[in-house]
Chain A
Amino acid sequence: MKIFCVIPAYNEAENIVKVIEQVKPLVNEVVVVDDGSTDQTGALAEQAGAKVLRHIINCGQGAALRTGNEYSLINGAGIIVHFDADGQFSSRDIRQVIAPIINGSAQVVYGSRFLNKPGNLEMPFLKKRLLMPLARMANRVFYKINLTDPQSGFRAMSAFAAKKVCWGQDRMAHCSEIMIEVKKNNLSAAEVPITVIYRRFGQSFSGGLKIIRDLLLAKFIN
């Protein structure tokens, strides 16, 4: 079973090579989607041995992952892993994230920053105590999704699941939409603990509001 790791990257020249070097030995192919970077991200990723797909303009993480997924499916991926380019995730967790798919216990696996892992104590206080509980509650109330980490970008899915899960969100709301799609398609899902080393705050409160706005607007467009 071929394992593809899709890494959406926007102006990540500083971290991309290190991330690729760490991920490469654990998967069959590393696919970097250079999402309209204005720095050397794409060129560096190519030199590091990744397959680079270039977005001519910045479309957002959700759009980049969609491109990466489609490429992976075309090229015979059995499992697709979504991984961040900023070096906040630990490549060592990839094995754990794909394990439930390999042993057949799940079709989609989410990495959770809230299941017991010591490194995660570094999550910013406001994010841990306010933003994430609010997002969890929104998922539970509106979509009946009961997951500990509502916004983790570290996930894996089988090719079967990747074909079923169609998200339309280009920006950060794709995380929620993927969870909704997984539930809608009755795909079996699991959560495994992952380590995250926080270098940036990541999603802010206004970012959270944008996610809600995007999800609501999508209801009217669709």
Chain B
Amino acid sequence: MLQQITALIIIAFFLAKLYWQKQKNQIGINEFVFWLIFWLLAALLIIGLKFIDRLVAYLGFSGTGIEVLLYLSVAALFYFVFRLRLKLEKIEKDISKLVKSLALKDK
């Protein structure tokens, strides 16, 4: 219970920070909505941890709900790193195009 309360306090801190960043126009609307959904979902999962425990047991996982959430978050992180990698590759290609244009300018 104490762990859940601690986690919710941390989430509340990040939500407040998110609101503050939006107020100061430091982030765009899309980013704001993404992180808002992310933190609200995290809070929801923490509140419903008992339900998740039962759900994962029903689905046949050997771990507890929080462990399964951890596995899922690691998988999500891998996916985000991959997406980031693709984005970087694309940026590199765009830079190459610019470099080529500059090299060929007036030649």
Q: Decide yes or no whether B5 CB sits under 8 A from chain A.
A: no
Closest-CB distance, A31 to chain B (whole angstroms):
10
Given contacts A57-B95, A59-B96, contact A221 B90 (CB under 8 A): yes
Question: Could you say which residues of chain A place their CB within 8 Å of the CB of B96?
Answer: 59-60, 63, 66, 170
Interface set, chain A 23-41, CB cutoff 8 A to B: 33
Question: Does the CB pair B93–A71 fall under 8 Å?
Answer: no
How many angstroms between the C-alpha atoms of A118 and B93 in the bound complex? Answer: 40
Q: Decide yes or no whether A128 CB sits under 8 A from chain B.
A: no
Q: Decide yes or no whether B103 CB sits under 8 A from chain A.
A: yes
Q: Decide yes or no whether B86 CB sits under 8 A from chain A.
A: yes
Given contacts A57-B99, A59-B99, A217-B86, contact A70 B93 (CB under 8 A): no
Question: Does the CB pair B99–A63 fall under 8 Å?
Answer: yes
Q: Which residue of A lies closest to B82 (CB)?
A: A220
Closest-CB distance, A110 to chain B (whole angstroms):
24
Q: Decide yes or no whether A53 CB sits under 8 A from chain B.
A: yes
Q: Which residue of B lies closest to A63 (CB)?
A: B96
Interface set, chain B 49-100, CB cutoff 8 A to A: 85-86, 89-90, 92-93, 95-96, 99-100
How many angstroms between the C-alpha atoms of A58 and B104 in the bound complex? Answer: 15
Question: Could you say which residues of chain A place their CB within 8 Å of the CB of B92?
Answer: 170
Question: Does the CB pair A168–B93 fall under 8 Å?
Answer: yes
Given contacts A170-B93, A221-B93, contact A74 B104 (CB under 8 A): yes
Question: Could you say which residues of chain B place their CB within 8 Å of the CB of A168?
Answer: 93
How many angstroms between the C-alpha atoms of A54 and B89 in the bound complex? Answer: 22
| Interface-centre pick from A60, A63, A66 (highest chain B CB count, 10 A) | A63
Question: Does the CB pair B89–A56 fall under 8 Å?
Answer: no
Closest-CB distance, A49 to chain B (whole angstroms):
16
How many angstroms between the C-alpha atoms of A51 and B106 in the bound complex? Answer: 13
Q: Which residue of A lies closest to B103 (CB)?
A: A53
Q: Decide yes or no whether A67 CB sits under 8 A from chain B.
A: yes
Q: Decide yes or no whether A55 CB sits under 8 A from chain B.
A: yes
Question: Does the CB pair B100–A70 fall under 8 Å?
Answer: yes
Question: Could you say which residues of chain A place their CB within 8 Å of the CB of B102?
Answer: 55-56
Question: Could you say which residues of chain A place their CB within 8 Å of the CB of B24?
Answer: none
Given contacts A221-B86, A221-B89, contact A56 B99 (CB under 8 A): yes
How many angstroms between the C-alpha atoms of A217 and B90 in the bound complex? Answer: 10
How many angstroms between the C-alpha atoms of A23 and B104 in the bound complex? Answer: 22
Question: Does the CB pair A55–B104 fall under 8 Å?
Answer: no
Closest-CB distance, A200 to chain B (whole angstroms):
25
Per-position binary interface string of chain A over residues 178-222, scored 1 when its CB falls under 8 Å from any chain B CB and 0 otherwise: 000000000000000000000000000000000000000110110
| Interface-centre pick from B85, B89, B95, B99 (highest chain A CB count, 10 A) | B99
**Which are the 8 A-B pairs with shortest beta-carbon distances?**
A53-B103, A63-B96, A67-B100, A59-B96, A55-B99, A67-B103, A170-B96, A59-B99
